[in-house]
Amino acid sequence: MKPVVHVENVSYAYDGGNQEQVEALLDVSLKIWPGEFVAVIGHNGSGKSTLAKHMNALLVPTRGNVYVFEMNTQDESWVWEIRQTVGMVFQNPDNQIVATTVEEDVAFGPENLGVEPGEIRRRVDEALALVDMTGYEKSAPHMLSGGQKQRVAIAGVIAMRPRCIVLDEPTAMLDPVGRTEVLRTVRRLASDEGISIVHITHFMNEAVYADRVIVMEEGRIALSGTPREVFSQPATLRKLDLDVPQVTELAGQLQAAGVALSRCPLTVEEMADDIGTLLGRGPCRSELHSH
Amino acid sequence: MNFANAAVGQYMPGESLMHRLDPRTKMLVSLGIIIVLFVVSNPLAYALLAVPIVLAIAISGVPVKLVFRSLRPLTFIMVLTFVLHLFMDPGEALFSIGRITATDQGLRLGIVTVVRLTLLVLATSIVTMTTSPIAFTDGLERLLAPFARLGLPAHELAMMMTIALRFIPTLLEETDKIMKAQMARGADFESGNIAKRAKAMIPILVPLFVSAFRRADELAVAMEARCYRGGEGRTRLRELAFSGEDLAVLIVAGAYTVAVAVAL
């Protein structure tokens, strides 16, 4: 199996004014595998957005190489192939919708690729169904909620048939409802459609659903592993100025108080199960949901 | 501030023949009528040119009241040009007010100008009211395409129009938000003379422009990420289709308009 994106010893510096070079990335290496759901976390200025922009040639490394399959992002002749293979969803839902209706916007990418009209129609319908926006084809973007706009933006990327979607803090400007909608869509894409997902976020509880979590700090990868591996190190995370998910925090406090849980729980459901087991009542997931 | 007025000439969805026609057909026919309007000066010619316009309005099913509402913003200009013609043109005196005199020729030219402007606005309004913004920009792009070889950026103009249409509601919303934020801090947009009120707009315009530039920047990156590279090799979800109906309308309306121009 070949990685979809291969970031190889990448450093990136930009001119910060006063002839000062700001190092945004320092010798970062990572591979994104087909169908993998990777969450990238880190506080502002940790380089996570810069890393994202390297994955579809919006930025080109100062040192090192980024490969999308066999294509090096340094080679300008591949740029459109690369951007079709690795799609990108941005933070502000308003500033990435181009057209005056939902269907025209979803069609924008395929139109740029020169796909023929009948096929565009098929892709638009399919993409809108995937993000649960069927029925909004003729709606004007400004009439939609933030979560809906962001799902339209995701549909616009899906319609280009990418192998990987990079989402750069797609939930940062949304309300809790919109955040849930978008997260549900993203998780479904990763599990059902086999599209690799790189989800950049600063919400820790969004990262727990990933296959792998990468923690960025000052342009480097500080920590990497499964969500359980990463979040079971609350002390390290705190040192990096990051929160841990609430349940993980609670588990840590229980541990300190002498209550030993069998694993490090990541979600409320897992926590409920663990506590139920501990109390000898077995997993109590259903009980939790009924409340 | 009431933004509902911004809706003059806005698209009214429908299924009529006017709605079905290719935007290019509608634009060409209305352009033809407008050109002839400014060539002829015979009253009968105006009456004959009004026929296809009235017919188009009737077929479209758009409420007549709404079509005529598009004249409202031009009322002031019409009255002004009429008055200027009436009193400034040479000719035999009809009546005088103080030292200025109304002339018969002025009266005639004044009426002609008002009729011309009215028909012009109606002819364009009925096109924009029965054509979706997407179809309109597509049609414009295709009509201007032959001039692209002469260096006219046809695709770019159409794309700019699409983006402008897309962002008008967003920017209006933002204006509203900024105004409310300024009012919450004691800004006063309602009192004072024109100069004072214009000055009060500065704290609205500055943040609005800053934000518009930021939006433009982000949108450009998002468009590039979706492989936008200009009009070349681009396909469309909905290709414009020139049907038999279009051909028929174009021939009949074209022949009629030319006949009016030649005969009168």
Residue type, A19: Q
Query: Domain segments of chain B: what residues?
Result: 4-131+240-263, 153-225
- State how far the alpha carbon of A185 is from the alpha carbons of A91, A177, B69, B136, in Å: 16, 13, 45, 34
Percent of chain B whose predicted confidence (pLDDT) is above 90: 52
Tell me the two tokens of residue B6: 């911004």
Backbone angles phi, psi at A255, to 5 degrees: -60, -45
What is the C-alpha to C-alpha distance for residues A32 and B56, in angstroms, rounded to an integer? 59
What is the C-alpha to C-alpha distance for residues A209 and A227, in angstroms, rounded to an integer? 8
Q: Quick one: closest CA in A to B240, which residue? A: A117
| pLDDT classification of B203: cutoffs 50, 70, 90 | confident
In the stretch 167-186 of chain B, residues with CB closer than 8 A to chain A read: 169-170, 173
Residue type, B225: A
Percent of chain B whose predicted confidence (pLDDT) is above 70: 97
Burial call B216-238: b when 16+ CB within 10 Å, e when fewer = eebbeebbbbbbbeebeebbbbe
What is the C-alpha to C-alpha distance for residues B171 and B205, in angstroms, rounded to an integer? 11
Nearest Cα residue to A189 out of A69, A6, A35 = A35
Point out the least confidently predicted range of A94-103, B58-67, B141-150, B193-202: B193-202
Residues in chain B with CB shorter than 8 Å from the CB of A56 are 225
**Is B108 at the interface with chain A, CB within 8 A?**
no
B218:A99 CB<8 A = no
Task: Report chain B's mean pLDDT, rounded to a whole number.
Answer: 89
What is the C-alpha to C-alpha distance for residues A140 and A3, in angstroms, rounded to an integer? 38
| pLDDT classification of B189: cutoffs 50, 70, 90 | confident
Backbone angles phi, psi at A149, to 5 degrees: -60, -45
What is the C-alpha to C-alpha distance for residues A78 and A81, in angstroms, rounded to an integer? 5
In the stretch 20-59 of chain A, residues with CB closer than 8 A to chain B read: 56, 58
Q: What is the CATH number of domain A5-226?
A: 3.40.50.300
What is the C-alpha to C-alpha distance for residues A29 and A33, in angstroms, rounded to an integer? 13
**3-state SS string for chain A:** CCCCEEEEEEEEEEECCCCCEEEEEEEEEEEECCCCEEEEECCCCCCHHHHHHHCCCCCCCCEEEEEECCEECCCHHHHHHHHHHEEEECCCCHHHCCCCCHHHHHHHHHHHHCCCHHHHHHHHHHHHHHCCCCCCCCCCHHHCCHHHHHHHHHHHHHCCCCCEEEEECCCCCCCHHHHHHHHHHHHHHHHHCCCEEEEECCCHHHHCCCCEEEEEECCEEEEEECHHHHHCCHHHHHHCCCCCCHHHHHHHHHHHCCCCCCCCCCCHHHHHHHHHHHCCCCCCHHHHHHC
**Is B42 at the interface with chain A, CB within 8 A?**
no
Tell me the two tokens of residue B210: 């800053």
Which residues lie closer than 8 Å to B25 by C-beta, 6 or more apart? Answer: B242, B246, B249, B250
What is the C-alpha to C-alpha distance for residues B99 and B77, in angstroms, rounded to an integer? 24
B225:A101 CB<8 A = no
Query: Domain segments of chain A: what residues?
Result: 5-226, 245-291
Query: What tens digit of pLDDT does each residue of A120-176 get?
Result: 999 999 999 999 999 999 898 989 999 999 999 999 999 999 999 999 999 999 999
Dihedral, B235, B236, B238, B242 alpha carbons, nearest 10: -60
Judged against a pLDDT cut of 60, whether residue B7 lies above it is answered with: no
Q: How many CB atoms lie within 10 A of CB B119?
A: 18
Scan for tokens 């249409």, then name that residue.
B165
User: What's the pLDDT at A78?
Assistant: 93
Residues in chain A with CB shorter than 8 Å from the CB of B228 are 98, 108, 112
User: What's the pLDDT at B32?
Assistant: 95
Q: Which one of B136, B163, B227 would you mutate to disrupt binding with A, by most A Cβ within 10 Å of its Cβ? A: B227
What is the C-alpha to C-alpha distance for residues B119 and A290, in angstroms, rounded to an integer? 67
Query: What tens digit of pLDDT does each residue of B76-126 get?
Result: 999 999 999 998 888 888 888 888 888 888 998 999 999 999 999 999 999
User: What's the pLDDT at B1?
Assistant: 36
- State how far the alpha carbon of A56 is from the alpha carbons of A29, A76, A185, in Å: 16, 12, 21
What is the C-alpha to C-alpha distance for residues A201 and A173, in angstroms, rounded to an integer? 11
* Gap from B246 CA to chain A (nearest CA, Å): 21
Residue type, B181: A
Residues in chain B with CB shorter than 8 Å from the CB of A160 are 226-227
Longest pairwise C-alpha distance within chain A: 65
For residue B206, is it left (φ>0), alpha (ψ between -120 and 50) or beta? alpha
Query: Please, what is the angle between helix B133-148 and helix B23-39, to 10°?
Result: 70
What is the C-alpha to C-alpha distance for residues A29 and A288, in angstroms, rounded to an integer? 41
Q: Which one of B166, B175, B229 would you mutate to disrupt binding with A, by most A Cβ within 10 Å of its Cβ? A: B166
User: What's the pLDDT at A5?
Assistant: 96
Predicted TM-score (pTM) of the model is 0.83
Burial class (CB in 10 A: 0-12, 13-18, 19+), A250: middle
Low-confidence ranges of chain A (pLDDT < 70): 282-291
